[in-house]
Chain A
Amino acid sequence: AQKITQTQPGMFVQEKEAVTLDCTYDTSDPSYGLFWYKQPSSGEMIFLIYQGSYDQQNATEGRYSLNFQKARKSANLVISASQLGDSAMYFCAMREPKVMGNMLTFGGGTRLMVKP
């Protein structure tokens, strides 16, 4: 079974509008971390936001927020006021402390395209 599922291979959003990128995860470990990374066309992996499984509040970092619904095992990324520079691949990832040196397990990614 997939541990991280991103069901939207590609999405368009109009500049200045908000967009939600979906991510669902599967784990039986009560302690885990959820991450979002951005990969622009230049190829680097940029860390955006982190949510711990015990965190009571949704994480926010500037225009990025993580809509964490633990019971539904969902960790959607919300980007407010989209900018042209937000066009990129976005990866959701999970880290479980007891799995292979705390490796990150990645979803397949969502390509976001921001229209002017």
Chain B
Amino acid sequence: DAGITQSPRHKVTETGTPVTLRCHQTENHRYMYWYRQDPGHGLRLIHYSYGVKDTDKGEVSDGYSVSRSKTEDFLLTLESATSSQTSVYFCAISESGGPYEQYFGPGTRLTVT
């Protein structure tokens, strides 16, 4: 199994509070991704990173920011959480930019009340 961990695994927070989710990998893969999974929408890309300090927006990036100061860590921040951000968040990693598989972390279930 690919070495990917996510923390926390579960979080309940209130509307308007900041939240940071962490993805940590031990594979030294260049690419890292944050997806969200919602019923009826499958998984959608929020942000991705193609190297340290190199990040870009995905399909559903509004309300989210990311940072990657080390190869192994990719942080997703909700600056001011809203109920529409209640979701399951998955981190994924990939070794290269070609059409190769991505490996997913275990997911973080976030509930915004």
B100 contact from A33, A96, A100, Cβ within 8 A: A33
- A-side residues, CB < 8 A to B, are 31-33, 35, 37, 43-45, 47, 50, 52-53, 91, 93, 95-97, 100-104, 106-109
16 contacts between A and B (CB under 8 A): A35-B101, A45-B43, A45-B107, A47-B101, A50-B100, A91-B43, A93-B43, A95-B102, A96-B99, A101-B33, A101-B56, A102-B98, A102-B99, A104-B35, A104-B102, A108-B41
Chain B residues near A (Cβ < 8 Å): 31, 33, 35, 40-45, 48-50, 56, 58-59, 88, 90, 92, 94, 97-104, 106-107, 109
Which residues in A have their C-beta under 8 angstroms from that of B56?
100-101
When distances are taken between beta carbons in the complex, the residues of chain A under 8 Å from B41 are 108
Assembly CA distance A56 to B101 (angstroms): 18
Which residue from A33, A37, A103 sits with its C-beta under 8 Å from B58? A103
A95 touching B103, Cβ below 8 Å: no
Q: A101 to B95, alpha carbons, bound, how many Å?
A: 12
Q: Which of B31, B41, B45 has the most CB of A within 10 A?
A: B45
Are A109 and B31 within 8 A (Cβ)?
no
Provide the bound-state CA to CA distance between A3 and B50, in Å: 23
Query: Once bound together, how far apart are the Cα atoms of A82 and B20, in whole Å?
Result: 40
Pick the most buried of A52, A93, A104, A109: most chain B CB atoms within 10 A of its CB: A104
Q: Which residue of chain A lies nearest to B32 when distances are taken between CB atoms in the complex?
A: A101
Closest 6 CB pairs of A and B: A33-B99, A45-B104, A106-B42, A101-B48, A103-B45, A106-B43
Once the chains bind, are B107 and A91 in contact (CB under 8 Å)? Answer: no
Q: Is the CB of B101 within 8 A of A102?
A: no
- Minimum distance in angstroms from A50 CB to a CB of chain B: 5
